[in-house]
Structure 1
């Protein structure tokens, strides 16, 4: 089982530390490195992406990103935007997503990909990357990490 936490980290494109999810102690954009191609040439710029939760400038998109990250009903699967391009801070550029599945005790990130179509802030089409990163988290630890990410975003960063 993987670990998940939230902490402060300075991404390559940021001027100061900001809240991020840490997968097995690795910041999310570095954990996904080598998985997301951001253009037709297959260029990997994952390490220049920033968390969707906290960085999206459109309030509706931001609320959606937080809502989708929260574990839903058991035996369900949700497409969750987790990383975005820091230049635009919206859903129009590179958006890395995970397919998040929930059961009684775990939250699993089954695969990771790049959004290819976004409508009204909701990802409607994804190019799934192969090979893909996968992770399985304890559900209680996942919820605690999301709560800490929110706290850091609201109290420490903004």
Structure 2
């Protein structure tokens, strides 16, 4: 089953205002992932694509979110601690697989390593089903998000 992903304005629990965000099946990504991996604390995390305090961290996240070649997988930092907004605290990652016109988040875990090494060492969460998106929809969501973010600033 393909899930939907799109960019939209959303107000996360920790935020005072709505801002550009990613939605999965029309739900904020942090709330959707909290339900998907059955961990309510995940709903308090921030989207890694926005507000990172370190430009190097920001570049890592953008590069890793961008789908690679067909048949490749990448460890993508999805959500980060909303207090610190960096890759050195709490980071929820997904192994992102590109295959035959789809993007799958095959498994989810907590990064043990931080900074540029985020996801190099990961404590994987067992029993969480994979999530699959159409590659074109995923790319469009990232493009729309980037446009919304540049208009927002």
Query: Cα deviations across residues 65-107 of structure 1 (Å, max 9, x unaligned)?
Result: 0111010011000000010011111111110111100013111
Within 5 A, what are the aligned runs for 1:133-144? Answer: 133-144=129-140
**Match of 1:67?**
63
Distance in 2 of aligned mates of 1:10 and 1:121: 29
Superposition misfits of 4+ residues, deviation over 6 angstroms: none
Number of equivalenced pairs: 151
CA positional deviation for 1:62? 0.2
**Match of 1:24?**
25
The alignment yields a C-alpha RMSD, in angstroms, of 1.5
Within 5 A, what are the aligned runs for 1:6-17? Answer: 6-17=7-18
Unaligned runs of 5+ residues in structure 2 are none
Within 5 A, what are the aligned runs for 1:107-122? Answer: 107-120=103-116, 122=118
User: Contact 1:32/1:133 (CA < 8 Å) preserved in 2?
Assistant: no
CA separation of 1:29/1:9 partners in 2, compared to 1, >3 Å: closer, same or farther?
A: same
**Match of 1:40?**
none
**Match of 1:33?**
34
CA positional deviation for 1:121? 5.2
CA positional deviation for 1:151? 1.2
The two structures have a TM-score, normalised by structure 1, of 0.89
**1:5 and 2:6 correspond:** yes
